[in-house]
């Protein structure tokens, strides 16, 4: 039996909405931040809690209850807060009313920014800070890597000149703010270091020990990690209160979202400074704590995994699922299109992390996703994933 578009929506989007309620219920992130994260991190027309307000908490609760009765999956059981709002006839907008915080301020002076790394993400971060008027020192493993960053930024700025968004003088000013080095010691006088190196805890830990030695007192040490425990990085230093997550989204020059991730040790002044810094760079910052997936990955990847499970069931085809989600939810891509863009290997790794952290049976990676990775069908980057691009 092929499911209708509405049934596909219910199967995949309702659990996603329920996860978002539970995230808010657990005080992990505020409702505006959860909504902003999914809007600016995934390009969704609305955040999940706004969607619930539009559909009605009672409607969402009743549809989830029906799914829970059918599947017995704890993840489909309506969250307690959803029950409460439905019973009281209240909305998340009302729940969040009056909770708006004052605009964050720089509690520590930020004049010079350091970046460690020379990949696409690091290069984009360097460009974003330099375009916002900051002097940036970036460190890489060789002169060729340093030249690669400058070339990347030069090309990016040239496109902006072509489009009439900046002029040649502005381009020249941005490039003049860049200083590349192969020595970490060049970071000695920066006010904040943003690390964007390989997702390997041992390599990152070694770097943080070094940065602790090199960077001046009061300098903030930030990581762009999307998966490593930031608390562990702080523990590698003598200044865990100055260690924080700044999870930029790729491409960093275009994507507005930054997840600002605090550990139990991160100082309130550091958190507020980083939130204000993000605003100064033209980013939308959302706050959350140090646990697997942060906001976006924790809500996005179980939904993608559920889509693979639905395909495995034979109840709908890949094209039917993609089309239904775009039509019913208004998401910019269907789940299989997105999986192929992200990379099935990346998606599997994130889902495995979520499963390990939350121990939810419903988070177990779908067998077909594991199979695609085993076959090397990783998505667009290999020419074949769920779709064939060859």
Q: Which residues are catalytic?
A: 226, 247, 259, 297
Tokens of residue 370, six digits: 């594991």
Q: Are 306 and 11 in contact (CB under 8 A)?
A: yes
Burial class (CB in 10 A: 0-12, 13-18, 19+), 61: buried
Q: Are 304 and 347 in contact (CB under 8 A)?
A: yes
Q: Are 331 and 325 in contact (CB under 8 A)?
A: yes
Residues 6+ apart with CB under 8 A from 144: none
SS3 category, 223:
strand
* Planar angle of CA 53, 57, 62, nearest 5 degrees: 145
Alpha-carbon dihedral sign for residues 356, 357, 362, 367: negative
Helix (H) or strand (E) holding 246: strand 243-248
Q: Are 1 and 315 in contact (CB under 8 A)?
A: yes
Q: Sheet containing 243-248: which strands, arranged edge to edge? A: 178-181, 135-139, 112-116, 192-195, 220-223, 243-248, 257-262, 284-289
Residues 6+ apart with CB under 8 A from 354: 292, 293, 297, 298, 301, 302, 360, 363
């Amino acid at each position: 039996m092929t499911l209708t578009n509405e049934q596909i929506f219910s199967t995949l989007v309702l659990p996603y909405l329920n996860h978002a309620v539970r995230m808010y219920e657990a005080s992990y992130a505020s409702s505006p931040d959860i909504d902003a994260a999914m809007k600016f991190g995934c390009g969704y027309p609305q955040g999940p809690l706004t969607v619930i307000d539009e559909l009605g908490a009672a409607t969402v609760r009743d549809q989830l209850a029906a799914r829970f009765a059918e599947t017995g999956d704890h993840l489909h059981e309506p969250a307690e807060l959803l029950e409460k709002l439905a019973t009281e006839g209240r909305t998340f907008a009302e729940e969040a009313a009056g909770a708006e915080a004052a605009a964050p301020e720089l509690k520590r002076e930020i004049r010079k920014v350091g970046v460690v790394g020379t990949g696409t993400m690091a290069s984009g971060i360097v460009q974003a800070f330099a375009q916002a008027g900051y002097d940036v020192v970036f460190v890489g493993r060789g002169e060729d890597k340093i030249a690669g960053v400058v070339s990347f930024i030069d090309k990016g700025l040239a496109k902006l000149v072509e489009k009439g968004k900046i002029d040649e003088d502005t381009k020249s000013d941005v490039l003049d703010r860049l200083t590349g080095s192969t020595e970490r010691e060049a970071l000695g006088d920066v006010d904040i270091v943003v690390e964007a190196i390989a997702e390997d805890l041992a390599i990152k830990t070694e770097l943080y020990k070094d940065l602790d030695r090199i960077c001046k007192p009061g300098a903030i040490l930030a990581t762009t990690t999307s998966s490593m425990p930031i608390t562990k990085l702080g523990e590698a230093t003598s200044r865990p209160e100055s260690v924080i997550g700044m999870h930029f989204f790729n491409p960093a020059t275009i994507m507005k979202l930054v997840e600002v991730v605090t550990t139990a040790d991160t100082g309130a002044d550091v958190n507020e400074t980083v939130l204000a810094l993000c605003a100064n760079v033209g980013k939308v910052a959302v706050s959350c704590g140090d646990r697997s997936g942060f906001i976006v990955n924790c809500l996005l990847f179980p939904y993608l995994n559920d889509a693979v499970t639905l395909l495995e069931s034979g109840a709908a085809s890949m094209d039917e699922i993609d089309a239904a989600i775009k039509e019913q939810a208004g998401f910019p891509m269907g789940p299989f299109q997105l999986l192929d863009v992200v990379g099935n290997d990346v998606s599997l790794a994130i889902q495995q992390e979520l499963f390990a952290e939350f121990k939810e049976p419903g988070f177990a990676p779908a067998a077909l996703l594991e199979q695609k990775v085993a076959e090397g069908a990783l998505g667009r980057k290999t020419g074949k994933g769920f779709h064939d691009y060859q």
